[in-house]
């Protein structure tokens, strides 16, 4: 059962999400996202799909299972899904309550997702569960900062942005580790607030 408050928040945002997010952030982050997503392989779970802004960065020919908590977001993603040279199967699903069997996927990929998941460690534990032993987690996320004054700015911004959508000050790398993954690489894309994270589930 999807978290109704979170679902309503993203449904409300869906019609204007592209105008808010695409032109600036997506172009700026394109090189880092392309490099990260080039590693996608095998049976991939992607979350959260949103309006599909990440789809142009996906390698061709993959079979991807994509989730989003918001049916309105997935509605807006249809054109990009149709344009993808591969298969994208969508599900309206809450990461906390995924209906997939344990060890269903070779790889889980997230993009600006764990700034918004209400219970991030539990969400990451759910991803850990659906990954096969030895499976990889690839994340493109914005996070809090270790450094003054950036840490203070992220905390201040979160007071406002939390009402609209994401938190700006999440300790996502620590959360990944707390969920049971072994972090293999953290690459800062902008300062230490935009980063790619690679992690692995321990082999059986």
The site for another protein (CB under 8 A) is made up of 19-21, 23-25, 27-29, 142-147, 149-151, 153, 156-157, 160, 169, 171-174, 176-177, 183-195, 197
Residue among 133, 140, 146 at smallest CA distance from 180: 133
Nearer to another protein, 46 or 181 (CB): 181
Nearer to another protein, 109 or 112 (CB): 112
Q: Which residues contact 44 (CB under 8 A, 6 or more apart)?
A: 62, 63, 64, 65, 105, 106, 107, 108, 109
- Between CA 77 and CA 55 the distance in angstroms is 9
Nearer to another protein, 3 or 192 (CB): 192
Smallest distance, another protein to C-beta of residue 78, A: 24
Smallest distance, another protein to C-beta of residue 199, A: 8
Smallest distance, another protein to C-beta of residue 44, A: 22
**Residues present in the chain in total:** 204
Nearer to another protein, 91 or 177 (CB): 177
Q: If you compute the radius of gyration of the chain from its CA atoms, what whole number of angstroms results? A: 16
Smallest distance, another protein to C-beta of residue 81, A: 24
β-sheet bridge partners, residue 137: 108, 199
């Amino acid at each position: 059962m999807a978290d109704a408050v979170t679902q309503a928040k993203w449904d409300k945002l869906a019609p204007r999400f592209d105008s808010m997010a695409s032109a600036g952030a997506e172009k700026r982050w394109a090189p880092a996202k392309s490099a990260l997503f080039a590693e996608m392989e095998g049976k991939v779970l992607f979350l959260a799909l949103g309006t599909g802004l990440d789809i142009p960065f996906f390698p061709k020919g993959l079979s991807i299972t994509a989730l989003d908590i918001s049916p309105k977001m997935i509605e807006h993603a249809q054109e990009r899904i149709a344009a993808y040279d591969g298969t994208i199967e969508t599900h309206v699903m809450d990461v906390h309550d995924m209906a997939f069997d344990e060890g269903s996927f070779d790889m889980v990929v997230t993009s600006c997702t764990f700034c918004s998941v209400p219970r991030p460690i539990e969400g990451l534990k759910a991803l850990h569960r659906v990954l096969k032993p030895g499976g990889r987690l690839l994340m493109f996320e914005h996070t809090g900062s270790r450094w003054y004054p950036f840490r203070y700015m992220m905390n201040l911004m979160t007071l406002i942005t939390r009402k609209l959508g994401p938190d700006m000050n999440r300790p996502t790398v620590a959360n990944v580790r707390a969920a049971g993954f072994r972090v293999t690489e953290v690459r800062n894309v902008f300062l230490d607030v935009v980063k790619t994270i690679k992690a692995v589930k321990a082999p059986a």
